Chains A and B, each alone.
Chain A
Amino acid sequence: GNSVTQMEGPVTLSEEAFLTINCTYTATGYPSLFWYVQYPGEGLQLLLKATKADDKGSNKGFEATYRKETTSFHLEKGSVQVSDSAVYFCALSDRSTGNQFYFGTGTSLTVIP
């Protein structure tokens, strides 16, 4: 079946530190992969996505590369800011299983000045 596993949080970093949030997946078909961000008290916002192997999604300084050989989609940012403090969700959708999304459990990030 389909599933997403992402690293446990919470993660606390100092401003300008390098960020990596690990995400691995299991899929029966050829999934599309996503990162969503949820700021306190708000809904989820799409951060970036990749639809096929070796694609790199990027947005607001965040990047993630779709690695089929390692079934991974790790989120990275070179220099985090206090405003990046949020919960980050990795997700996949698989055409073979219709319209459903499979979300990871979320990783809470706190960036301190």
Chain B
Amino acid sequence: SQTIHQWPATLVQPVGSPLSLECTVEGTSNPNLYWYRQAAGRGLQLLFYSVGIGQISSEVPQNLSASRPQDRQFILSSKKLLLSDSGFYLCAWSVGRPGTQYFGPGTRLLVL
């Protein structure tokens, strides 16, 4: 069966520090991968999605970036965090077009 992992589960970072969040999927090949952000009490905002290694589509211009160095690995990064980057970051995967999206457990980021 397929599983999706995210880490860390919780992160507290100072403003201006770098960020790296990792997402990995097991049990499937060539998944579509997604990064979402959920601000407190808000809905989901799609940040990036990827249909293959090295292929990244950005939905919202901001100080975040994403990379997909391996088929089942998706990384969300920032060089300098802003207060507004605080939120709950969710990774998801799907197969097919369109396929059901399955979500990871999320990373809660607090920027102070």
Taking the nearest CB of chain B, how far is it from the CB of A73, in angstroms?
15
Any chain B CB within 8 A of the CB of A49?
A: yes
Q: Give the docked Cα–Cα distance between A89 and B61 (Å).
A: 25
Stretch at the interface among B62-70, B79-87, B93-101: B93-101
Type the 1/0 row for B31-63, where 1 means its CB is closer than 8 Å to any CB of A. 010100000001110100101000000000000
Q: Which residues of B contact A32 (CB under 8 A)?
A: 98, 100
Whether B43 and A89, one on each chain, are in contact in the complex, defined by CB atoms closer than 8 angstroms, is: yes
Q: Which residues of A contact B6 (CB under 8 A)?
A: 43
8 A Cβ contacts from A44-98 to B? 44-46, 49, 89, 91, 93-95, 98
Of A41, A100, A104, the residue contacting B43 (CB under 8 A) is A104
Q: Which residues of B contact A45 (CB under 8 A)?
A: 103
Given contacts A42-B105, A44-B90, A99-B32, whether A49 and B97 have CB atoms under 8 Å apart is: no
Which residue on chain A has the smallest CB distance to residue B43? A105
